[in-house]
């Protein structure tokens, strides 16, 4: 049997460009178009169990029914949990520090993950009522909602 030689690893530095296109599908695309074109947040309701999903999906996670009934939400909701990000990475949409939260929009049974802005990060708390702030120039992305800000008392 031949002896296996130990070799030093060879590292080649470079970049591989992988252009691709991702489709949000029929349901996700309508959701994103409405954000972009109308500044409207749409959810989808299950006809069998009445559960309302935002972001919308095509199949109910509870009863596996097909979802077709669109519901418009006003965008206001409650912060149900959050974290404060205190470091910046190139993939972050904004520079740190910033808050990411799960917002349960009024009329929805699920939470929407998004940034919280215009808030005192040291005094942010679960239960804070929030409303969406849309970008002036929208592109058809969840980031067309710039962030959710606390509602004025």
How many domains are there within the chain?
1
> For position 43, what pLDDT does the model report?
98
For residue range 22-80, list pLDDT tens digits in order. Answer: 788 999 999 999 999 999 999 999 999 999 999 999 999 999 999 999 999 999 999 99
Whether residue 16 is contained in a domain is answered as no
> For position 55, what pLDDT does the model report?
96
CA distances from 50 to 37, 63, 68, 87, 129 (A): 27, 10, 12, 40, 24
> Residue 31 gets which letter from DSSP?
H
pTM: 0.84
Evaluate if residue 4 carries a pLDDT over 80.
no
Sheet containing 52-53, strands listed edge to edge, beginning at the edge strand earlier in sequence:
52-53, 41-45, 69-73
> For position 8, what pLDDT does the model report?
81
Whether residue 50 is contained in a domain is answered as yes
Q: Where are the beta strands (DSSP E) in the chain?
A: 41-45, 52-53, 69-73, 77-85, 98-105, 111-116, 129-134, 145-150
Whether residue 60 is contained in a domain is answered as yes
Whether residue 118 is contained in a domain is answered as yes
User: What SS3 class is residue 142?
Assistant: helix
Whether residue 3 is contained in a domain is answered as no
Whether residue 13 is contained in a domain is answered as no
Nearest partner of 108 among 55, 38, 34, 33, judged by Cα: 55
Segments forming the whole domain that contains residue 61: 25-150
Whether residue 43 is contained in a domain is answered as yes
For residue range 93-133, list pLDDT tens digits in order. Answer: 999 999 999 999 999 999 999 999 999 999 999 999 999 99
Whether residue 10 is contained in a domain is answered as no
């Amino acid at each position: 049997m031949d002896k296996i030689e130990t070799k030093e690893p060879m590292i080649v530095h470079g970049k591989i460009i992988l252009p691709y296109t991702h489709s949000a599908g029929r349901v996700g695309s309508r959701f994103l178009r409405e954000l972009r074109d109308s500044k409207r947040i749409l959810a989808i309701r299950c006809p069998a169990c009445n559960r309302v999903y935002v972001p919308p999906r095509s199949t109910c996670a509870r009863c596996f029914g097909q979802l077709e009934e669109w519901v418009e939400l006003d965008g206001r909701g409650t912060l149900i949990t959050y974290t404060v990000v205190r470091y910046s990475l190139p993939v972050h949409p904004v520079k740190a520090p910033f808050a990411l939260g799960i917002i349960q929009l009024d009329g929805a049974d699920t939470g929407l993950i998004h940034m919280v802005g215009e808030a005192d990060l040291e005094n942010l708390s679960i239960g804070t009522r929030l409303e969406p702030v849309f970008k002036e120039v929208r592109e058809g992305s969840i980031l067309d909602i710039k962030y959710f800000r606390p509602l004025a008392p």
